[in-house]
Amino acid sequence: MATSFLSRVLFWPRWFFRQLTSMRTALFLLLLLAFAAIPGSVYPQRSADPNGVRLFFDNQPELAKVLDSIQIFDVYTSVWFSSIYILLFVSLIGCVVPRTKIHYHALRAKPVKTPAKLDRMPIYRQFEAFEPYLDAAQAVLKKSRIRFTRSGNSISAEKGYLKETGNLVFHYSLIGVLIAVGVGGGLSFSGQRVLVEGETFVNNLASYDSFSPGPFFNEENLQPFDLKLEDFEVVYDLTNLNNRGQPIDFIATVTALGKTSEIKVNSPLAAPGANIYLTGNGFAPVITVRDGEGNIAYSGPVVFLPQDSNMTSLGVIKVPDANPEQLGFISFFYPTAEELESGAYTSIYPDPFVPLLTMNLYSGDLGLDNGVPKNVFALDTSNLKEVASRNAENPPLQLEPGDVVDLPDNLGSVSFDGLLRFASLDVAYNPGGIWVLGFALLALGSLALSLMIPRRRIWFRFADGKIEAAALARNDDPGLEDFLQRLVLEINKEIEKK
């Protein structure tokens, strides 16, 4: 009774597993997976577009909260998306493993016995011949490397085992891809760093502006190296009239590992344990601020973020060390400035031909001392006094390179000492990539095999001075008739030889 009890207990799990591994379920899960992937292209994703997510939260905070609770901003790592593909892979394994066993036995077994009624096969021929015909057929099959078995007056042959092999290898490769993606992602890291021309970056965690490690990342894996941005050049199209101002090339010249090399878009630099990619660029005007007491309160390049294709750029300068009052600037940089009728400026070309800085000046407590981390690219002006701007008593400050301008209210002075460019660099490492590629290529090759190779059975039988020849294909196979025809022709040739 113990076995029947056990089988009763296992009935539902077995039933569930059988359902899960059926082709119908695989089909259903595939369609579900395609459907579940859609929201990730409609809503911004934290992984691909964190800024978009932030904007969404700012614009529709209520809706964002609801959507976030069902992981709409992290679709591809969400519980529901993950459960679909995990179920799909369980179903895949449950389907492929038994098929592997069957195929393994089929590979070692002889082709099936010749059926009694060959004339029921989709392709069937009958013609007069002598008994040695079967010997010739055997020779041709052997030469064509087609597996066959002869029993008495008939030959049974089968070819195209590679079709099923390809199909199985394809599905196993997909498991390989999934594992390589998972393990590789776990060991990976990527870090971002903005470097102004002349600055040096040392590869350790503290040097990154932002850093996202995989769950198994170990800080000791960061290989020590320095990288100095010597020069950053942007080549614009000056030749073609209608194309003027289109960037043609971005070239970051860097010194690293005792060598000078170039990093470009599409051509990263291979560093020890990581690749270094060029992902962005912009201007970094060199600015010096003297406070009301005449002391240098700030001096150095300031990274300005590009706002449009003509490189109108926005920068924020915070000067907490200024006395008697802290100073803050919100500044626009126009590489080729042109004044609009309204008196505002715009940039009409991305290269610095007529560079101009305009600055709004604020004074008061910048709020940097209370320990809350602040975005360096934004200035909270709510508690500050607007000293100079289009809305204030004093007009915005305007500086061309080399200019020194006194600040209103004896707050000090500011100078535009020079113009540098910056490059945003990504340092990324993913040891899984090469494995993903390997498995993906294996999947591609085996997929082609499994879809293109036909599986065919062929039979010959000799009886009463006649040969019966028949062929059967597992799938739809338009070449089946030709195939049998060619075999018969070759067998005839073989007979003539003798």
Partner 1 sequence: MNQVVLNEPLSQISLLFVSGAMAFIAIALVVFSFQLAKLSSDQSVDSSKLSNLEKLGFWALGLGTLVLTVGVVMRGIAAGRVPWANMYEFSISAALLILMVYLTALKIKDIRYIATFISGFVLVILFAAVSIFYVEVKTLMPALDSYWLVIHVVVAILASSFFAIAAGFHIAYLVKNSGFGKKVMNLFPDLDQLERLAYRFNIVGFVLWSFTLIAGAIWAERAWHRYWGWDTKEVWTFIIWVLYAGYLHAMATRGWRGSKAAWLGVIAFSAVIFNFTIVNLFFKGLHVYSGL
Residue ranges of E strands in 80-177: 123-128, 147-151, 154-159
Q: Is 31 in the site for partner 1 (CB under 8 A)?
A: yes
Binding to partner 1 in span 104-133, by CB under 8 A: none
Q: Is 277 in the site for partner 1 (CB under 8 A)?
A: yes
Which residue of 17, 20, 26, 288 would you call a contact of partner 1, by CB under 8 A? 26
Residue 441: which of 187, 182, 183, 176 has the closest Cα?
176
Q: Is 87 in the site for partner 1 (CB under 8 A)?
A: no
Q: Which stretch binds partner 1 (CB under 8 A): 235-243, 339-347, 352-360, 391-399?
A: 235-243
The dihedrals phi and psi of 369, each to the nearest 5 degrees, come to -90, -10
Residue ranges of E strands in 12-120: none
Which residue of 114, 154, 190, 363 would you call a contact of partner 1, by CB under 8 A? 190
Q: How far is the CB of 303 from partner 1 (least distance, A)?
A: 20
C-alpha to C-alpha distance for 389 and 329, rounded to whole angstroms: 10
Which residue of 436, 467, 472, 473 would you call a contact of partner 1, by CB under 8 A? 436
| CA dihedral (289, 295, 301, 303) positive or negative | negative
In a 10 Å sphere around its CB, with 0-12 CB exposed, 13-18 middle and 19+ buried, how is residue 14 labelled?
exposed
Q: How far is the CB of 103 from partner 1 (least distance, A)?
A: 16
Q: How far is the CB of 50 from partner 1 (least distance, A)?
A: 12
Q: How far is the CB of 404 from partner 1 (least distance, A)?
A: 37
C-alpha to C-alpha distance for 130 and 342, rounded to whole angstroms: 103
Which residue of 111, 268, 292, 412 would you call a contact of partner 1, by CB under 8 A? 268
Which residue of 3, 13, 24, 117 would you call a contact of partner 1, by CB under 8 A? 24
Residue 321: which of 289, 285, 281 has the closest Cα?
289
Q: Is 478 in the site for partner 1 (CB under 8 A)?
A: yes
Amino acid (1-letter code) at residue 29: L
Structural contact between residues 125 and 488, judged by C-beta atoms closer than 8 angstroms: yes
Q: Is 267 in the site for partner 1 (CB under 8 A)?
A: yes
Binding to partner 1 in span 278-307, by CB under 8 A: 279
Residue 415: which of 426, 425, 429, 400 has the closest Cα?
400
Q: Is 250 in the site for partner 1 (CB under 8 A)?
A: yes
Residue 47: which of 75, 83, 69, 86 has the closest Cα?
75
Q: Is 261 in the site for partner 1 (CB under 8 A)?
A: no
Which residue of 20, 447, 453, 495 would you call a contact of partner 1, by CB under 8 A? 447
C-alpha to C-alpha distance for 7 and 451, rounded to whole angstroms: 39
Which residues are CB-neighbours of 257 under 8 A, at least 6 positions away? Answer: 225, 271, 272
Q: Is 247 in the site for partner 1 (CB under 8 A)?
A: yes
- Please compute Rg for the chain using Cα positions: 36
Q: How far is the CB of 270 from partner 1 (least distance, A)?
A: 12
The residue length of the chain stands at 498
Q: Is 86 in the site for partner 1 (CB under 8 A)?
A: no
Q: Is 424 in the site for partner 1 (CB under 8 A)?
A: no
List Cβ<8 Å contacts ≥24 apart for 79-82: 80/36, 81/33, 81/36, 81/37
Q: Is 180 in the site for partner 1 (CB under 8 A)?
A: no
Q: Which stretch binds partner 1 (CB under 8 A): 28-36, 132-140, 194-202, 487-495?
A: 28-36
Q: Is 102 in the site for partner 1 (CB under 8 A)?
A: no
Which residue of 6, 9, 10, 48 would you call a contact of partner 1, by CB under 8 A? 48
Q: Is 154 in the site for partner 1 (CB under 8 A)?
A: no
Q: Is 239 in the site for partner 1 (CB under 8 A)?
A: yes
Specify the DSSP element, H or E, that contains 87. Answer: helix 79-108
The tokens for 413 are 């002075």
Q: How far is the CB of 47 from partner 1 (least distance, A)?
A: 6
Q: How far is the CB of 241 from partner 1 (least distance, A)?
A: 8
State which residue, 115 or 433, has the beta carbon closest to partner 1: 433
Q: How many residues bind partner 1 (CB under 8 A)?
A: 58
Q: Is 419 in the site for partner 1 (CB under 8 A)?
A: no
The three-point CA angle 124-126-131 to 5° equals 125
Which residues are CB-neighbours of 392 under 8 A, at least 6 positions away? Answer: 360, 386
Which residue of 314, 433, 435, 485 would you call a contact of partner 1, by CB under 8 A? 433
Other beta carbons within 10 Å of 89: 16
Binding to partner 1 in span 328-347, by CB under 8 A: none
Q: Which stretch binds partner 1 (CB under 8 A): 103-111, 218-226, 315-323, 435-443?
A: 435-443
Residue 236: which of 127, 329, 349 has the closest Cα?
349
H helix intervals, 109-193: 133-143, 161-187
Residue listed under structure tokens 């700030």: 298
The tokens for 182 are 């998972």
State which residue, 13 or 478, has the beta carbon closest to partner 1: 478
Which residue of 6, 34, 257, 344 would you call a contact of partner 1, by CB under 8 A? 34
The dihedrals phi and psi of 450, each to the nearest 5 degrees, come to -70, -30
Contact residues toward partner 1 (CB under 8 A) are 23-24, 26-27, 30-31, 33-34, 37-38, 40-42, 44-45, 47-49, 52, 75-76, 181, 190, 235, 237, 239-240, 242-243, 246-250, 264-268, 275, 277, 279, 426, 428, 430, 433, 436-437, 440-441, 443-444, 447-448, 451-452, 476, 478
